[in-house]
Amino acid sequence: MTWRQVFLLSGFSALVLLSNAKQKIFMQESDASNFLKRRGKRSPKPQDEVNAENRQKLRADELRREYYEEQRNESENFVEEQNDEQEERSREAVEQWRQWHYDGLYPPYLYNRHHI
């Protein structure tokens, strides 16, 4: 394909996508006029509006709870891994010390050593 054909093909595909997106983005005039109507400050909200707001708040609370729970789990896992690594390093150091200082007696403690 030449660059002209690629250019024309991409232009036509963009045009088709935009025409499909236009139908999904814009709403009908009747819906738009109802959307922009303002309610007086002292008038009560309709029940469906209250329910929608409550659903949004509950969903936001749930997302926030999940986020903080995930952060807490990641933090706990990190701390646990750090502690495990530290325990492994100290255990290896103690094991190396015991092997180096082993005197052939059991148990290999300092009070078993016979001082000359």
Domain count for the chain, please give it.
1
Residue 84 lies in a domain: yes
Residue 33 lies in a domain: no
**What are the φ and ψ backbone dihedral angles of 81, each rounded to 5 degrees?**
-65, -40
Q: Long-range contact list for 10-14, CB < 8 A, 24+ apart?
A: none
Give 10's pLDDT tier (boundaries 50, 70, 90). Answer: confident
Is the model's pLDDT at 76 over the cut of 80? yes
Residue 79 lies in a domain: yes
What are the tens digits of pLDDT across the range 31-74?
Answer: 666 666 666 677 788 898 899 999 999 999 999 999 999 999 99
Residue 64 lies in a domain: yes
Given this model, what pLDDT does residue 3 score?
76
Could you give the C-alpha distances from 77 to 8, 80, 90, in angstroms and in order? 53, 5, 20
Q: How far apart are CA 97 and CA 110, in angstroms?
A: 12
Q: How far apart are CA 94 and CA 101, in angstroms?
A: 10
Domain hosting residue 56, numbered range: 48-101
Tokens of 34: 């109802």
Residue 66 lies in a domain: yes
Is the model's pLDDT at 30 over the cut of 60? yes
